[in-house]
């Protein structure tokens, strides 16, 4: 199974993982063979990529760290909360936010699944349609923030608090006019000032709810603050920013970077790592190091070359060692002729490093042929 962007899909390819819209409706099911008209429809729906059955690693799955069903439930919950908040008068906010305790139940599922995962490595495992960007982004920020909390050794009750604040971190966006929120192109100074109010709007709504822990509400208020004081809304620095907010700030930026957006293509994870490291003063370095430990720099299916001049495809990552994947070798970089089947595990071969990652349109022709 491999993640293939929609622009590289060809008729005849087979869907390896189902795709849902933000309402939870099935758009494409596993096993479906693509036709030209399906691919055109996917482009219209702004689906950025699909998981495809491929001949390079037909035996390898790309596992999500939480169950599909849980991810779907969490997405729908956030969608319901945010769309209801847009329509309802302010006084019904308390009820809406914690109706039936649903948010705690879904978070408990997420935390339990993450804690029970013996090899907690986050691959790029979800596909977002344009209409569910905000919701699935919220779920991913929660998953990555909780994962980082686990790496920091935080208690389950703290993980629950991080989860609530992260799931709802962009709650305040429901009060930003849509023409500003969805604007293609650069924002005017006034429009950006309005965007910068979303942490305050969200925090006020969260506090009205009455039962949300202050540390969760602070994630909503502080997720755009930066360690060096360049963030907003307060321009706080280092320790003035709550630990949970420092964690979610990293997850928020990372997840935005690795997502396809209407105005730019997604960063591959290893480039998002470099980007975050290059903005060192903005993020808490010790948290950033922990954050990277559970994210695959080279997700399963990535085609790359190694320092021993071999080209291969990533088949496994080990938690704690994000840049040492196991690679199934395909050919030599010099000859481009197929080699005997073998795998090199960079966990064992410490003298070998990843040299180059191939993006989809750079993959050598002889490898494309066997895909």
The stretch among 11-19, 93-101, 162-170, 238-246 that binds Fe ion (CB under 5 A) is 162-170
Residue 109's contacts (CB-CB under 8 Å, 6 or more residues apart) are: 66, 67, 70, 73
- Report phi then psi at 120, rounded to 5: -80, 90
Nearer Cβ to Fe ion (256/347): 256
Tell the smallest beta-carbon distance from residue 231 to Fe ion (Å): 11
- Report phi then psi at 169, rounded to 5: -60, -30
Tell the smallest beta-carbon distance from residue 169 to Fe ion (Å): 6
Tell the smallest beta-carbon distance from residue 195 to Fe ion (Å): 8
Q: How far is CA 308 from CA 53, 325, 355, 366, in A?
A: 28, 15, 9, 19
Residue 261: strand, helix, or coil: strand
Tokens standing for residue 260: 């396809």
The stretch among 84-92, 132-140, 163-171, 308-316 that binds Fe ion (CB under 5 A) is 163-171
Nearer Cβ to Fe ion (196/355): 196
Query: Taking Cα atoms as reference points, which of 292, 214, 221, 215 lies closest to residue 250?
Result: 292
Nearer Cβ to Fe ion (2/169): 169
- Residue corresponding to tokens 């939870």: 24
DSSP 162-216: HHHHHHTTTGGGGGS-HHHHT-SSPPPHHHHHHHTTHHHHHHHHHHHHS-S-HHH
Tell the smallest beta-carbon distance from residue 86 to Fe ion (Å): 16
Nearer Cβ to Fe ion (170/282): 170
The stretch among 35-43, 166-174, 209-217, 344-352 that binds Fe ion (CB under 5 A) is 166-174
- What is the chain's Cα-based Rg? 21
- Report phi then psi at 90, rounded to 5: -55, -35
Tell the smallest beta-carbon distance from residue 305 to Fe ion (Å): 37
Count interface residues toward Fe ion (CB under 5 A).
Answer: 1
CB-nearest residue to Fe ion: 170
Nearer Cβ to Fe ion (54/170): 170
Asked if 282 touches Fe ion (CB under 5 A), the answer is no
Tell the smallest beta-carbon distance from residue 174 to Fe ion (Å): 12
Tell the smallest beta-carbon distance from residue 52 to Fe ion (Å): 32
Give the distance from CA 85 to its chain's centroid: 24
Nearer Cβ to Fe ion (170/255): 170
Reported residue count of the chain is 371
Tell the smallest beta-carbon distance from residue 260 to Fe ion (Å): 18
Q: What is the enclosing helix (H) or strand (E) of 135?
A: helix 133-151
Say how many C-beta atoms besides its own lie within 10 A of residue 364's C-beta.
15
Tell the smallest beta-carbon distance from residue 138 to Fe ion (Å): 10
Nearer Cβ to Fe ion (126/170): 170
- Report phi then psi at 254, rounded to 5: -60, -50
Helices (H) and strands (E) in the chain, counts: 14, 10
Write the binding mask 116 to 155 for Fe ion: x where contact by CB under 5 A, - elsewhere.
----------------------------------------
- Residue corresponding to tokens 């429809």: 41
Nearer Cβ to Fe ion (170/260): 170
Nearer Cβ to Fe ion (156/196): 196
Partner residues linked to 295 by β-bridges: 122
Write the binding mask 169 to 188 for Fe ion: x where contact by CB under 5 A, - elsewhere.
-x------------------
Contacts with Fe ion, residue ranges (CB under 5 A): 170
């Amino acid at each position: 199974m491999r993640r293939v962007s929609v622009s590289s899909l060809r008729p005849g390819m087979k869907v390896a993982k189902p795709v849902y819209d933000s309402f939870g409706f099935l758009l494409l099911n596993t096993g479906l063979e693509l036709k030209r008209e399906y691919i055109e429809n996917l482009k219209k729906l702004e689906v950025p990529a699909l998981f495809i059955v491929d001949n390079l690693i037909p035996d390898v799955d790309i596992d999500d760290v939480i169950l599909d069903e849980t991810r779907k439930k969490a997405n729908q919950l956030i969608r319901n909360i945010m769309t209801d908040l847009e329509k309802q008068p302010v006084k019904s906010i308390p009820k809406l936010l914690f109706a039936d305790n649903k948010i705690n139940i879904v978070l408990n599922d997420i935390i339990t699944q993450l804690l029970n995962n013996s090899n907690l490595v986050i691959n790029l495992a979800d596909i977002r349609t344009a209409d569910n960007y905000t919701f699935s982004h919220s779920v991913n920020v929660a998953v990555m923030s909780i994962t980082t909390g686990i790496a920091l050794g935080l208690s389950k009750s703290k993980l629950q608090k991080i989860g609530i604040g992260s799931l709802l971190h962009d709650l305040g966006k429901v009060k930003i006019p849509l023409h500003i929120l969805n604007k293609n192109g650069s924002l005017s100074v006034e429009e950006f000032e309005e965007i910068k109010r979303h942490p305050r709007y969200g925090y006020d709504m969260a506090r009205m709810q009455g039962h949300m822990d202050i540390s969760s509400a602070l994630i909503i208020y502080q997720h755009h603050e930066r360690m060096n004081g360049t963030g907003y809304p307060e321009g706080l620095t280092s320790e003035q920013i709550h630990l949970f907010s420092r964690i979610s700030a990293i997850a928020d930026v990372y997840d935005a970077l690795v997502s396809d957006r209407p105005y730019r293509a997604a960063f591959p994870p290893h480039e998002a790592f470099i980007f975050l490291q290059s903005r060192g003063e903005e993020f808490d370095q010790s948290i950033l190091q922990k954050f990277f430990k559970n994210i695959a720099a080279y997700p399963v299916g990535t085609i790359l070359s190694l320092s021993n001049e071999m080209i291969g495809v990533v088949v496994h990552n080990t938690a704690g060692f994000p840049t040492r994947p196991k690679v199934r070798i395909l050919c030599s970089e010099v000859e481009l002729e197929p080699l005997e089947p073998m795998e090199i595990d960079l966990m064992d071969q410490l003298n070998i490093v990843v040299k180059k990652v191939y993006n989809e349109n750079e993959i050598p022709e002889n490898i494309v042929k066997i895909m």
